[in-house]
Amino acid sequence: MTLKEALALPKEEIGTLRADLKKRIEERSDINAYIALDEAGDGVPLLIKDNIQVKGWNVTAASKILQGYVAPYNATVIEKIENAGLAPFGRANMDEFAMGSSTESSFYGKTLNPHDPNRVPGGSSGGSAAAVAADIAIAALGSDTGGSIRQPAAFCGIVGMKPTYGRVSRWGLGAYSSSLDQIGPMTQNVEDAAILYDIISGHDTRDSTSANVEYAPVAPNLNPGRKLKIAVIDNYIKDAGSEVQHAYQKAIEALEAEGHTIIHKEMMGAKYDIAAYYIIATAEASANLSRYDGIRYGNRAEDPKDLKDLYLRTRSEGFGEEVKRRILLGSFVLSSGYYDAYYLKAQKVRHLIKNEFENVFEDADLILSPVAPTAAFKFGEMADPLQMYLSDAYTIGVNLAGLPAISLPIEKRDDGLPVGLQLIGKHFDEQTVFDGAMSLERAVAYEKK
């Protein structure tokens, strides 16, 4: 059942819907998409990534350090979904503190890709994506700092959308990199994504980076018949795997057949995106994660000798390896002597990346881009952290520039693994992003089963 259908159900049928869903979730516990099956309220069930505050829940960002922490309030998005007749239903597995591209770093163990149990579901919102793909969630919320909604959506064959930075309130989202993080919908199709996007969007005075710009709902105005100018970045696609290149060609042909105009562009390339991102994101993370000190939240080391020992052991025992690596990297790039050479320079590069997107958007309504260089990789395949970072090449530029983008499934490889692509739009032009995505979705007619 789609989100649209579930929201149209008479109230008395929602109990049955919830009971059926619960049964299916229990039957597919092998996927490990859910950290826990917590329930709040009695509305249409929505799976929530474990870094979004739901009052009374043990929200942990899949980290050991937040064991025992109970969220004292609801994130703004949770208030909004509840007002729309939805209810938080289950905590979705994820990479610890949303740092990762595979959901392998969760304290609760890895999530399996429903298409192949030997492969990752992507990350960091891997639990959300796997659950929607396996039909054990109607829809889910994820968060996207550098691709964490779009890449797992592509790996699992579902739709994932990152809104313009500032469109959705971050109040109550566990901060990873505050200038990049956005919450967004992960759904079975484009229309559901538009519906959920409308529900969670809007200005919020509790988030100082929330945009106070006029907002018209997109779902009632969806128009896949609009003829758009869509840019393809020729030098970008060259480095992608053959399955991604194949899907790209298919999408271009489908878009042309729908009457859209394809234009060809070149962009600086992803290596600058990766360098800038892993400096800015780790710098912000090192500051954001300093609050987990064993005093105010969650887990605390036992029998500390003194205060320093308490901090040191709480953090050494509580954080996983990847999180520690990033805190160290972030502290390094912010430290005196390196600040100008790394952090300040990365901010300048970020500006260039933003300008470059703006230049392309002078001639185009949307950009078509890969989401990841390949389809879902195998567990352990990206054991080298740098290799894993490099796999974020296509998604992080969008976050650095603050743009909206949607990832949708295009086709399947011969072995059944989905391949997704993304459409990137102008700031606050989500309407065009959804219109184009709906047109592409119809044109490629991806078969779920």
Instruction: Please tell me whether residue 111 binds ligand GLN under the rule CB under 6 A.
Output: no
Instruction: Please tell me whether residue 211 binds ligand GLN under the rule CB under 6 A.
Output: no
Region near ligand GLN per CB under 6 A, out of 140-148, 201-209, 212-220, 348-356? 140-148
**Least distance to ligand GLN, CB of residue 422, Å:** 13
Q: How far is it, in rounded angstroms, from Cα 410 to Cα 363? A: 25
Residues 271-290 that bind ligand GLN (CB under 6 A): 281
**Least distance to ligand GLN, CB of residue 398, Å:** 10
Q: How far is it, in rounded angstroms, from Cα 352 to Cα 348? A: 7
Which residue bears the tokens 């298919």? 250
Q: Report which of 150, 387, 174 is spatially closest to residue 285, judged by C-alpha positions.
A: 174
Assess whether the previous peptide bond of 124 is cis (omega < 30° from 0).
yes
Instruction: Please tell me whether residue 98 binds ligand GLN under the rule CB under 6 A.
Output: yes
- 229, HSE (Cβ side, Cα atoms, 13 Å): 10
Give whichever of 101 and 189 is closer to ligand GLN, judged by the CB atom: 101
Instruction: Please tell me whether residue 394 binds ligand GLN under the rule CB under 6 A.
Output: no
Q: How far is it, in rounded angstroms, from Cα 316 to Cα 177? A: 21
Cα–Cα separations (whole angstroms), residue 197 to 41, 139, 151: 21, 11, 18
49 included as an active-site residue: yes
Instruction: Please tell me whether residue 148 binds ligand GLN under the rule CB under 6 A.
Output: yes
Region near ligand GLN per CB under 6 A, out of 96-104, 193-201, 408-416, 428-436? 96-104
Q: Which of 392, 411, 430, 435 binds ligand GLN (CB under 6 A)?
A: 392
Instruction: Please tell me whether residue 99 binds ligand GLN under the rule CB under 6 A.
Output: yes
**Least distance to ligand GLN, CB of residue 317, Å:** 22
Strand partners, 34: 92
Instruction: Please tell me whether residue 404 binds ligand GLN under the rule CB under 6 A.
Output: no
The active-site residue out of 101, 105, 124, 128 is 124
The active-site residue out of 101, 102, 125, 148 is 148
Binding map of ligand GLN across residues 156-195, x = CB under 6 A, - = no contact: --------------------x-------------------
Cα–Cα separations (whole angstroms), residue 225 to 194, 228, 275, 435, 437: 16, 9, 39, 8, 11
Q: Which of 82, 144, 284, 441 binds ligand GLN (CB under 6 A)?
A: 144
Give whichever of 113 and 439 is closer to ligand GLN, judged by the CB atom: 113
Instruction: Please tell me whether residue 145 binds ligand GLN under the rule CB under 6 A.
Output: yes
Q: Which residues of 280-311 are buried (b: 16+ CB within 10 A; e: fewer)?
A: bbbbbbbbbbeebbbeebbbbbeeeeeeeebb
Instruction: Please tell me whether residue 440 binds ligand GLN under the rule CB under 6 A.
Output: no
Give whichever of 45 and 100 is closer to ligand GLN, judged by the CB atom: 100
Q: Which of 45, 88, 100, 409 binds ligand GLN (CB under 6 A)?
A: 100
Give whichever of 124 and 314 is closer to ligand GLN, judged by the CB atom: 124
**Least distance to ligand GLN, CB of residue 1, Å:** 28
Strand partners, 265: 233
Cβ burial, residue 337 (10 Å; 0-12/13-18/19+): exposed
Q: Which two tokens stand for residue 15?
A: 């109990």
Name residue 272's amino acid: Y
Sequence-ordered list of residues with C-beta below 8 angstroms from that of 324, at least 6 positions apart, any chain = 316
Q: Report which of 398, 410, 401, 400 is spatially closest to residue 445, judged by C-alpha positions.
A: 410
Are the CB atoms for 52 and 60 separated by under 8 Å? no
Which residue bears the tokens 């070149």? 266
Q: Which residues of 13-32 are buried (b: 16+ CB within 10 A; e: fewer)?
A: ebeebbeebbeebeebeebb
**Least distance to ligand GLN, CB of residue 101, Å:** 4
**Least distance to ligand GLN, CB of residue 278, Å:** 8
Region near ligand GLN per CB under 6 A, out of 34-42, 144-152, 236-244, 376-384? 144-152
128 included as an active-site residue: no
Q: Which two tokens stand for residue 23?
A: 């049964």
Region near ligand GLN per CB under 6 A, out of 98-106, 340-348, 364-372, 378-386? 98-106
Q: How many residues bind ligand GLN (CB under 6 A)?
A: 13
Residues 290-349 that bind ligand GLN (CB under 6 A): none
148 included as an active-site residue: yes
Active site residues: 49, 124, 148
- Residues near ligand GLN (CB under 6 A) are 98-101, 124, 144-148, 176, 281, 392
